[in-house]
Amino acid sequence: MKKHNFYAGPSILSEYTIKNTAAAVENFAGTGLSLLEVSHRSKEFVAVMDEAQALVKELLEVPAGYEVIFVGGGASMQFCMVPFNLLNKKASYLDTGTWASKAIKEAKLFGEVDVVASSKEANYTYIPKNYTVPEDSDYFHITTNNTIYGTELHNDPDVKVPLVADMSSDIFSRPVDITKYNIIYAGAQKNLAPAGVTIAIVRTDALGHVDRSIPTMLNYKTHIEKGSMFNTPPVLPVYSALQTLKYYKELGGIPAIQKKNIEKASLLYDEIDRNKLFHGTAVPEDRSLMNVCFVMNEEYKDLEAEFASFAASKGMIGIKGHRSVGGFRASLYNAMPVESVKALIDTMKEFEKEH
């Protein structure tokens, strides 16, 4: 039976990415060696790193004055790296979920943190809108897609200070106005590659303005100056990332991907809204195109376990909701084909008919 991979992360990767990565594990770039056993300083691997960085810049239209780096430590490491490098006195944060609040916790170790708004009291079902960002903030941190709660900022906010964004779960899903940002970071394992690498897009003149000393490995400058080769980079995730980026380019770039994402998410939200058994948990205007969260309506609550096993019997994988929301979550990352979304919709319809 065909499996439909709705995992939230690590998550679906394109067939192109998996096939090419598997081939390189056997024989990398015609070297006769495995990708797993070559020096990261070999000319073949340096070319991979260079091309991956160049493709990130090309796809996201990164302007001059920014550098792209690949580092370890996950997006969670960026929660501390960002304030370490940028927070001199005060930073502002928008609290839109679990990941945002983890970023806030780390920032507090480095200075004053102004949480300008939070939707915690409503279990993060919406993105706060009417807030003011103090103009003396070193930056304003946002989480563009809230993977756990299924909400998303669909535009780059207009504020008077530079933005910093955790785009772990929606990078490459929509065009972004990079000029508004000092740093964008994203763990690879949602829209790019296997876990183990994180990309950061860094405005270079935003660095060097804090008074503290920064440990070498946590300093963005180190990784920029050494072309992400200060220490041994995770070669396999970087190679996979390059395959995904090539695949994105082949698809027609970010605008084409965005169009497909809108189509996929609309199909599924329309079914959730129509189907008598389910309702969505996020307010409609803030619904995520990447992570679709839905629960059973009150009068059908006792059918939840039954739907879970029915869906599993139809090949639906990874649709169990996060424990802080419950119900179901279908993640529709870039690599997810529309056919899988349609298969899930058919499953929901069929289950509705039986009840």
Tracing tokens 């772990």 back to the chain, one arrives at: 168
Rounded CA gap, 320 and 7, in Å? 9
Give the distance, in angstroms, between the CA of residue 132 and the centroid of all CA atoms in the same chain: 26
Which is the catalytic residue, given 190, 246, 264, 314? 190
Looking at the Cβ atoms of 125 and 169, the one nearer to ligand PLP is 169
| Interacting residues with ligand PLP between 130 and 169 (CB under 6 A) | 143, 147, 166, 168-169
The CB-of-193 to ligand PLP minimum distance in angstroms stands at: 11
The CB-of-57 to ligand PLP minimum distance in angstroms stands at: 22
Looking at the Cβ atoms of 186 and 224, the one nearer to ligand PLP is 186
**Six token digits for residue 277:** 């058994």
Buried b / exposed e over 121-130, threshold 16 CB at 10 Å, is eeebbbbbee
All residues at 6 or more sequence positions from 203 whose CB lies less than 8 Å from its CB, including other chains: 65, 66, 162, 181, 182, 183
Return the residue of 28, 66, 93, 99 that touches ligand PLP, per CB under 6 A: 99
Tracing tokens 């997810």 back to the chain, one arrives at: 336
Looking at the Cβ atoms of 10 and 134, the one nearer to ligand PLP is 10
Tracing tokens 């394992």 back to the chain, one arrives at: 189
The CB-of-81 to ligand PLP minimum distance in angstroms stands at: 11
Catalytic residue check, 99? yes
| Interacting residues with ligand PLP between 201 and 240 (CB under 6 A) | none
Q: Is 313 exposed, middle or buried (0-12, 13-18, 19+ CB in 10 A)?
A: exposed
Decide: is 10 part of the binding site for ligand PLP (CB under 6 A).
no
HSE-CB for 229 with a 13 A CA cutoff? 14
Catalytic residue check, 190? yes
Rg of the chain over Cα atoms, rounded to whole angstroms, equals 21
The CB-of-28 to ligand PLP minimum distance in angstroms stands at: 25
Asked whether the bond before 128 is cis by omega within 30 degrees of 0, the reply is no
The CB-of-69 to ligand PLP minimum distance in angstroms stands at: 15
Q: How many residues bind ligand PLP (CB under 6 A)?
A: 12
Rounded CA gap, 253 and 55, in Å? 10
Binding site for ligand PLP (CB under 6 A): 9, 74-76, 99, 143, 147, 166, 168-169, 187, 190
Catalytic residues: 99, 166, 190
